[in-house]
């Protein structure tokens, strides 16, 4: 595509669970609550479907930030999925921190189907944070980079 | 290699106004596997679906991507269209370029760029999709209704009339709910009891309805069509079969100092009690917290006076386990607590009351036998002030942001009834807005103002101060005249906001039904599926879904019943084929997956496998696809990477990640 911005536009991957956060994102949309186009959403059945591998892969492929959203603790459609997700992400994020990936590049947020405003706010904040952190260079596999 | 068709929807101007759909089509044609791409005004319309049909048949498509609205909206529509054209419905993916793109971005270039990326991710996923076949599960032909107010009663009667068994679980000793506390109903001024009690009798006498009063739902497991529910029948301490409902025990009970919940604490009840005279079932319960026998071991008066020998101090809670195909939530509402509203002096003066308390005072069976009087000195009031929106439409933390919807109408009703019965009482209503939409509602309010001479003042009450002479000093503002008002009143009535029953959060968690920030249950679609929860098999009836009056509650109760009947009428349900599946060659039988599965869907078998020519018997995981709900917890837990989720496989999600980061 010819659309090329010289200004840094981060690549942000958002994993959203089907029942709460994806619906929250839909509500943000139908309420016309603006957030940056840098955020691209991947729908997963539950936050517990998010394999830490997916997040590492995103960084490897050049993502600058990854956010995972699920139902509020206690409200998981599958009862316990978000608890597993929370533990896995805690572990993964501390490991990423250890290897030098800034803490702010990853985030977990609980967004219910009724929280369109929260979804939009979260994405605005997160995009701003990634913008201030700049390009992810630590984990990107340069062989994966196009151009 | 797949043969993929990409269909880009304009959605009128919803998408096309901010996304260059032609550009998306053009870019789609460059994607691997895409053999066909086109755009159309409304893909979901009949003509749009005909285009999909034609393309599938003519181009021999093996997969398709629809770039349109959210999959939560039209995924089913497009899957059905694909199926009709002979394509497996699970070969369809949706790129959400409306809610997640066109509606939230203003810049066309930016939005188009994002839409292209979302399209690419969906194409990358479809490239790895495999046709899936849904399984079948059976439907238990029995419904559970949680809550025995007018919503629950109406839903239960409607389901039962269609010929299905229904159980009502009500936590109070009697069914009836809030409506049984109300004196008259707007806009017709029907006596509430006269229209409710026949319904209560009908429900209890219906051969298909079982009532579990003084009971609570304890545990829910299973899924649509096949829920298993544990109901805790709390110990009534009275044998329901023996009790004749004569009421002697209540008369003779020496412990009579417990505030009556039914009369909102305005009168006292005995420790053994039925909430109200028309209670169904007409069997009292012993409130063990206040009963002298349970507190000290000495008393036993009720047991002595009961001729039927129905009193049973040793009765224990009973757990009833029952299977249901559908569950209707009808848990209703309560008034908010007014502890945080010190300015209205609700806790300081007994003459400051809530509207529901006034309802009890006005009721002939209430604490004052229907005489309008002050609770402090039992004198008839001469001047009454009504305060609207106490905690409703509230911007701070103390109250609720929503409009409670019913207060404008019931306050008009109260004002009208008071002016009618006691023409010498002066009634003033302070309001922010008067909201009376509904059939014959505004006419009703106009009558209160024009015929009954109720004073309506637009303005908020800032403070209510109890005076030494027993009067209440009301400080308020008149927004239309732009002046401050100081007014003495004998009684102040607060239209407190309504909130969902506090128990609903616990119930929603058990049902895995979603709930919003105000604790109202979320509907599957605000406009098109207002009585269904997003969780299959759970239906919503009454105020648990949002504030509503009695006519609306009854219509929603009927609608919820119809949806439940529609489910119960089916013999079999198609199950979601997006279930977990282990790779037999990678599985080492470690049991990690079974430990994280919330549904107990994973078991282990010894099976002969052929691992690259080596034949041996191994212990491997096996997924019961009827039980698996497809959350994917096991796929991540699996240390050997054997477990994968069909429809959301590792490779599919990674392909999406790659496409987005490309």
Give how many domains chain B has, as a whole number: 5
pLDDT of residue B499: 96
CB contact under 8 A, A76 and B512: yes
Give a yes or no: residue A95 inside a domain.
Answer: yes
Contact of B105 with chain A, judged by CB distance below 8 Å, is answered with yes
A129 touches B at CB < 8 Å: no
Contacts of B508 in chain A (CB under 8 A): 75
Q: Tell me the C-alpha to C-alpha distance, in Å, between residue B55 and each of B5, B22, B59, B82, B90.
A: 7, 18, 5, 10, 17
What is the separation, in whole angstroms, between the first and last Cα of chain A? Answer: 12
Query: Residues 188 to 247 of B: which have CB under 8 A from any A CB?
Result: none
Q: Does residue B239 sit within a domain?
A: no
Q: Give the integer Cα–Cα distance in Å for B195 and B173.
A: 20
Query: Cα B152–B560–B399 angle (5° rounding)?
Result: 65
Contact residues on chain A for B521, CB-CB shorter than 8 A? none
pLDDT at A2 over 70: no
Chain A residues closer than 8 Å to B655 by CB: none
Give yes or no for a contact between A63 and A11, defined as CB atoms under 8 angstroms apart.
yes
Number of structural domains chain A divides into: 1
Q: Is residue A1 a part of any domain in this protein?
A: no
Dihedral of the alpha carbons of B278, B281, B282, B285, in degrees to the nearest 10: -120
Binary contact (B598, A81; C-beta < 8 A): yes
Q: Is residue B292 part of a domain?
A: yes
Backbone phi and psi for residue B36, each to the nearest 5 degrees, phi listed first? -150, 135
Token duo for residue A122:
């979260």
Residue B660 at interface with chain A, using a CB cutoff of 8 Å:
yes
At B404 the three-state DSSP class reads: coil
Q: Do A1 and B113 touch (CB under 8 A)?
A: yes
- CB-closest option in B109, B522, B631 to A114: B522
For residue B497, the 8-state DSSP code is P
Angle of CA points B128, B130, B136, to nearest 5°: 145
- Residue B142 maps to a domain: no
Do residues B599 and B450 share a domain?
no
Residues B378 and B447 in one domain: yes
Residue B466 lies in a domain: yes
Q: What residue in A sits closest to B513 (Cα-Cα)?
A: A77
Chain B residues 624-643 with CB within 8 Å of chain A: 629-633, 635-637
Q: Which residue has the higher pLDDT, B598 or A146?
A: B598
Q: Cβ of B30 under 8 Å from any chain A Cβ?
A: no
Assess whether B187 and B327 both reside in one domain.
yes
Which candidate from B71, B598, B636 shows the least CB-CB separation from A79? B598
One domain, residues B347 and B491: yes
Q: What are phi and psi of B413, to 5 degrees?
A: -65, -50
B276 lies in the same domain as B365: no
Range of the domain at A58: 12-134
Give chain B's residues under pLDDT 70.
none
Are B182 and B326 in the same domain?
yes
Residue B598 in contact with partner chain A when CB distance is under 8 A: yes
- B350 and B440 part of one domain: yes
Interface residue B109 vs chain A (CB under 8 A): yes
Is residue B206 included in any domain, yes or no?
A: yes
Asked if residue B192 and residue B158 are part of one domain, the reply reads yes
C-alpha distance from A78 to closest chain B C-alpha (Å): 7
**Phi, psi for residue B140 in degrees, rounded to 5:** -75, 125
Q: What is the pLDDT of residue B223?
A: 86
The Cα–Cα gap between B254 and B272 comes to 10
**Selection from A97, A53, A49 nearest residue A69 by Cα:** A49
Report the CATH number at residue B625: 3.30.70.3270
DSSP assignment letter at B292: H
Instruction: Report if residue A19 sits inside a domain.
Output: yes
Burial class for B288, CB neighbours closer than 10 Å (0-12, 13-18, 19+): middle
If asked whether residues B542 and B611 sit together in one domain, one would say no
Smallest Cβ–Cβ distance between B103 and the set A30, A46, A84 belongs to: A30
Tens digits of residue pLDDT in A24-73: 999 999 999 999 999 999 999 999 999 999 999 999 999 999 999 999 98
Rounded Cα gap, residues B216 and B231, in angstroms: 6
Interface check A90 vs B, CB under 8 A: no
A4 pLDDT band, cuts 50/70/90, is: very low
Q: A6 lies in a domain?
A: no
B141 falls within a domain: no
Asked if B631 and A81 come within 8 Å (Cβ–Cβ), the reply is yes
- Is A108 part of a structural domain of the chain? yes
Say yes or no for a CB contact (<8 Å) between A113 and B516: yes
Residue linked to tokens 């007409």: B282
Residue B364 falls inside a structural domain: yes
Whose CA is closest to B538, among B574, B571, B514? B514
Residues of B with CB below 8 A from A147's CB? none
- B331/B328 Cα distance (integer angstroms): 9
**Cis peptide bond prior to B93, omega within 30° of 0:** no
- The answer to whether B517 contacts chain A (CB < 8 Å) is yes
Cβ-based contacts under 8 A for chains A and B: 168
Residues B344 and B326 occupy one common structural domain: no
Residue with tokens 């203003």: B106
CB-based contact A26 B70, cutoff 8 Å = yes
Q: Could you tell me if B461 and B512 lie in one domain?
A: no
The shortest CB-CB distance from A29 to any of B98, B109, B632 is to: B98
Nearest CA in chain B to A143: B662
- The verdict on B369 and B431 lying in the same domain is yes
Cβ contact (<8 Å) for A77 and B517?
no
**Cβ A58–B657 below 8 Å, yes or no?**
yes
pLDDT, position B271: 96
For residues B265 and B353, the answer to whether their CB atoms sit within 8 Å is no
Distance CA B174, CA B486 (A): 44
Q: Give chain A positions within 8 Å (CB) of B109.
A: 3
Distance from CA of B99 to the nearest CA of A (A): 4
CB nearest to B104's CB, from A19, A32, A75: A32
Residue A141 falls within a domain, yes or no? no
Helices (H), chain A: 21-30, 52-60, 81-98, 116-133
The residue of chain B with its CA nearest to that of A18 is B72
Query: Does B381 fall in a domain?
Result: yes
Range of the domain at B73: 4-126
Residue A41 touches partner B, C-beta closer than 8 Å? yes
Residue A147 lies in a domain: no
Domain containing A35 — which CATH number? 3.40.50.960
Of B499, B519, B550, the residue that ends a domain is: B499
**The pLDDT value given to residue B528:** 85
Summarised one tens digit per residue, pLDDT across range A101-110 is: 898 999 999 9
The one-character DSSP state at B525 is B
Looking at the predicted structure, is the pLDDT value of residue A3 above 90? no
- According to DSSP, the residues that pair with B185 across neighbouring strands are B190
Q: How many CB atoms lie within 10 A of CB B261?
A: 14
Put simply, whether A140 touches B (Cβ < 8 Å) is no
The answer to whether residue A6 scores a pLDDT higher than 70 is no
CB contact under 8 Å between A26 and B632, yes or no, is: no
């Amino acid at each position: 595509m010819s659309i090329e911005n010289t200004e840094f536009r981060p690549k942000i991957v958002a994993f959203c669970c089907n029942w709460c956060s994806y619906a929250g994102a839909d509500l943000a949309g139908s309420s016309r609550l603006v957030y940056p186009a840098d955020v691209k959403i991947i729908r997963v059945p539950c936050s517990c479907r998010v394999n830490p591998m997916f997040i590492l892969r995103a960084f490897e492929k050049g993502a600058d930030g990854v956010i995972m959203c699920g139902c509020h603790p206690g409200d998981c459609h599958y009862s316990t999925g978000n608890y597993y997700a929370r533990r896995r992400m805690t572990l993964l994020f501390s490991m990423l921190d250890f290897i030098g990936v800034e803490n702010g590049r990853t985030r977990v947020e609980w967004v219910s189907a009724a929280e369109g405003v929260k979804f939009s706010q979260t994405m605005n904040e997160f995009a701003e944070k990634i913008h201030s952190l700049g390009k992810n260079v630590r984990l990107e596999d340069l062989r994966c980079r196009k151009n | 290699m797949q043969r993929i068709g990409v269909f880009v929807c304009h959605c009128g101007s919803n998408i096309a106004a901010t996304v260059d759909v032609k550009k998306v089509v053009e870019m789609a044609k460059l994607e691997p596997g895409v053999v066909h791409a086109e755009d159309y005004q409304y893909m979901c319309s009949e003509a749009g679906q005909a285009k999909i049909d034609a393309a599938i048949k003519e181009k021999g498509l093996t997969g398709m991507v629809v770039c349109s609205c959210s999959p939560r909206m039209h995924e089913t529509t497009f899957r059905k269209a694909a199926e009709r054209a002979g394509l497996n419905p699970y070969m369809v993916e949706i790129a959400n370029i409306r809610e997640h793109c066109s509606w939230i971005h203003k810049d066309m270039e930016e939005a188009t760029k994002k839409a292209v990326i979302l399209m690419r991710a969906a194409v990358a996923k479809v490239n790895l999709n495999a046709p899936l076949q849904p399984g079948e599960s059976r439907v238990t032909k029995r419904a559970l209704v949680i809550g025995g107010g007018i919503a629950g009663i109406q839903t239960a009667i409607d389901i039962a009339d269609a010929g299905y068994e229904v159980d009502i679980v009500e936590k109070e000793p009697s069914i009836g709910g809030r409506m049984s506390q109300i004196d008259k109903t707007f806009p017709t001024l029907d006596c509430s009891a006269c229209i409710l009690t026949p319904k209560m009798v009908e429900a209890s006498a219906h051969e298909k309805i079982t009532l579990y009063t003084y009971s609570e739902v304890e545990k829910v497991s299973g899924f649509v069509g096949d829920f298993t529910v544990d109901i805790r029948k709390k110990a009534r301490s009275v044998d329901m079969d023996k009790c004749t409902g004569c009421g002697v025990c209540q008369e003779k009970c020496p412990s009579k100092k417990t505030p009556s919940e039914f009369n909102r604490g305005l009168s006292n009840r005995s420790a053994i009690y039925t909430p109200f005279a028309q209670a169904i079932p007409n069997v009292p319960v012993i409130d063990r917290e206040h009963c002298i026998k349970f507190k000290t071991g000495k008393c036993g008066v009720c047991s002595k006076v009961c001729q039927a020998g129905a009193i049973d101090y040793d009765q224990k809670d009973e757990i009833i386990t029952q299977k249901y195909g559908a569950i209707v939530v009808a848990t209703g509402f309560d008034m908010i607590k007014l502890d945080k509203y010190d300015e209205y002096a609700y806790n300081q003066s007994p003459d400051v009351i809530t509207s529901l308390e006034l309802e009890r005072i006005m009721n002939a069976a209430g604490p004052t036998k229907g005489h309008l009087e002050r609770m402090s000195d039992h004198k008839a009031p001469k001047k009454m002030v009504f305060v609207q929106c106490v905690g409703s439409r509230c911007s701070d933390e103390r109250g609720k942001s929503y409009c409670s919807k019913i207060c404008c109408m019931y306050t008009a009703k109260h004002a009208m009834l008071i002016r009618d019965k006691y023409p010498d009482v002066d009634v003033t209503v302070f309001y922010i807005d008067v909201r009376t939409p509904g059939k014959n509602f505004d006419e009703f309010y106009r009558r209160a103002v024009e015929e009954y001479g109720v004073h309506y003042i637009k303005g908020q009450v800032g403070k209510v101060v109890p005076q030494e002479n027993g009067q209440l000093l009301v400080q308020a503002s008149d927004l239309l005249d732009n002046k401050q008002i100081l007014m003495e009143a004998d009684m102040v009535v607060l239209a407190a906001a309504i909130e969902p029953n506090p128990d609903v959060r616990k119930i929603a968690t058990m049902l895995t039904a979603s709930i919003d920030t105000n604790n109202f249950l979320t509907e599957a679609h605000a406009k098109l599926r207002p009585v269904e929860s997003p969780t299959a098999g759970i239906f919503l009836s009454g105020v648990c879904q949002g504030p509503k009056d009695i006519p609306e509650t009854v219509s929603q109760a009927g609608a919820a019943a119809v949806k439940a009947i529609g489910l119960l009428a089916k013999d079999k349900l198609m199950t979601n084929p997006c279930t977990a599946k282990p790779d037999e060659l990678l599985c080492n039988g470690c049991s990690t997956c079974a430990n994280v599965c919330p549904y107990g869907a994973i078991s282990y078998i010894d099976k002969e496998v052929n691992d690259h020519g080596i034949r041996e018997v191994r212990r491997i995981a096996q997924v019961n696809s009827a039980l698996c709900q497809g959350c994917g917890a096991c796929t991540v837990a699996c240390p050997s990477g054997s477990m994968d989720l069909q429809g959301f496989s590792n490779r599919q999600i990674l392909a999406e990640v790659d496409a987005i980061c490309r």
